[in-house]
Amino acid sequence: MDTRRNMLKKKRRVVIKIGSSSLQHTETGDMDYIRLEVLVRELCNLKNQGKDVVLVSSGAIAQGKKAVHLTPEQLQEHPIAVKQACAAVGQGKLMMIYEKLFNEYGQLTAQVLLTKESVTNAKCRKNAKQTFDELFKMQVVPIVNENDAISVDELSYGNFGDNDTLAAYVSRLVDADLLILMSDIDGLYTDDPRKNPNARFIHTVGKIGRSLENMAKGASSDCGTGGMATKIKAAKIATAAGADMIIANGDNIYSINDVMNGKKVGTLFLSEQHQKEMSEEVAPERAEFR
Ligand code: GLU
C-alpha cells in the first residue's frame, strides 16, 4: 500500500468541491438526483467516522437558469446581472435539495456564501472562521458557494472566479487537512487525453513547478469555469496551507470513499509539509511525475 495514499485515511477535516457539471444531466441540465443522493450519503458517512466535512457546491447559476427558463436574448442583454439573478434563484433550490437529502440521514446543514473579501480582509476572515468553528462544534455540515448575487468583477472586492479557488481558500480558512476537487476528468494528465492518446496520467504531485503549470495549461477541463490551470492554482493555495489535495472524477461519486480508503484514484498533490516529510523517501522533483 502506498504510504502517501494510506495517510489519507487519517484525515480529520475534509473539504469537498463539486462542480455544476457533476450535479446535472448533460442532456437536459436538470439535477441528477441519484448522483446528489450518493454524494450526500458519502459525506454523511464521513461524518459518521467522526470527520469534519465541508461541501463547496456550484450549481446555483445553472439551476437558476433552468428555473426561470432563461432565453439567450435575456442573457445577451445583461449577462452578469442575469447570471447574478439566476444564482439567487438557483442557490435556494440547491439548498432545498441538499437539506432534504442530508436530513434523510439525520444531518444538519448550513449555507455559507462567501465573497473574496471574506478571505482577504482580516476582519471578515476572522468572522467567517468563527462561524465555521461553531458549525463544526455543532456537528453541522457547511455548504459553501460564492455569493454570486453580490460578487462580480465590477465590484471593488472582486470575485474568486471559480469554485476551485474558492474551495482552496475555504480549506485554508478552516485548516482542513484534505481538499477533494470532484472534476469532469480523472485527474491530471501530461497532456489533454481527449486530444493526445499518449497523454500519461499523473498519480502524485510533489512540488508544483513551472513545467507542471505549463502542462496544465494544455490539459484543459471543460467543467464549470475552472479548467486544469485553476486546479493547479487551487493546489498551490491548499498545499501551502497544509492540506493534501486530490483531483478525482465527479462522474463516479464513490471515488470519495475510495480516496478516503487510501485507494490510488485521482491525482494526489502533497501538502508542503508532506513533501518535506517524504523528501527522504522521494525527491520532490522526482515526485512530480509519478
Ligand atoms: N458559483 C457558481 C454557481 O454556483 C459556480 C462557479 C464555478 O463552478 O466555478 O453556479
Ligand 1 atom at minimal distance to the Cα of residue 161? 9
Residue 50 Cα to ligand 1 midpoint, Å, equals 29
CB-hemisphere CA count at 13 Å for 35? 19
Q: Count of CB atoms within 10 A of residue 39's CB?
A: 24
Around ligand 1, the residues with Cβ closer than 6 Å are 19-20, 58-62, 87, 145-146, 148, 162-163, 224-226
Residue 284 Cα to ligand 1 midpoint, Å, equals 33
3-state secondary structure of 276: helix
For residue 28, pLDDT beyond 70: yes
Residue 179: all three cell numbers together: 481538499
Question: What's the pLDDT score for residue 154?
Answer: 45
For residue 225, pLDDT beyond 60: no
For residue 218, pLDDT beyond 70: no
Ligand 1 atom at minimal distance to the Cα of residue 145? 1
What lies within 8 Å, CB to CB, of 39 at 6+ separation is 18, 55, 253, 256
Concatenated DSSP letters of 55-89: EEE--HHHHHHHHTT--HHHHHHSHHHHHHHHHHH
Identify each DSSP E strand in 12-78 by its residue range. Answer: 13-18, 52-57
Return d(Cα 224, Cα 217) in angstroms, integer. Answer: 16
Indicate the DSSP class of residue 282: S
Which tens digits make up the pLDDT trace of 165-183?
A: 999 999 999 999 999 999 9
Question: pTM, whole model, 2 decimals?
Answer: 0.91
Which tens digits make up the pLDDT trace of 254-268?
A: 999 999 999 999 999
**Percentage of the chain modeled with pLDDT above 70:** 89
Ligand 1 atom at minimal distance to the Cα of residue 64? 10
Which tens digits make up the pLDDT trace of 132-178?
A: 999 999 999 999 999 999 887 544 445 677 899 999 999 999 999 99
Beta carbons of 172 and 241 less than 8 angstroms apart = yes
Residue 257's nearest CA partner among 19, 33, 34, 40 is 40
Confidence band (pLDDT; 50, 70, 90) for 211? confident
Residue 14 Cα to ligand 1 midpoint, Å, equals 20
For residue 289, pLDDT beyond 50: no
Question: What's the pLDDT score for residue 155?
Answer: 40
Return d(Cα 197, Cα 244) in angstroms, integer. Answer: 29
Task: Report the mean per-residue pLDDT for the chain.
Answer: 88
End-to-end CA distance of the chain: 15
What average pLDDT does range 37-60 have in this prediction? 97
Return d(Cα 139, Cα 200) in angstroms, integer. Answer: 41
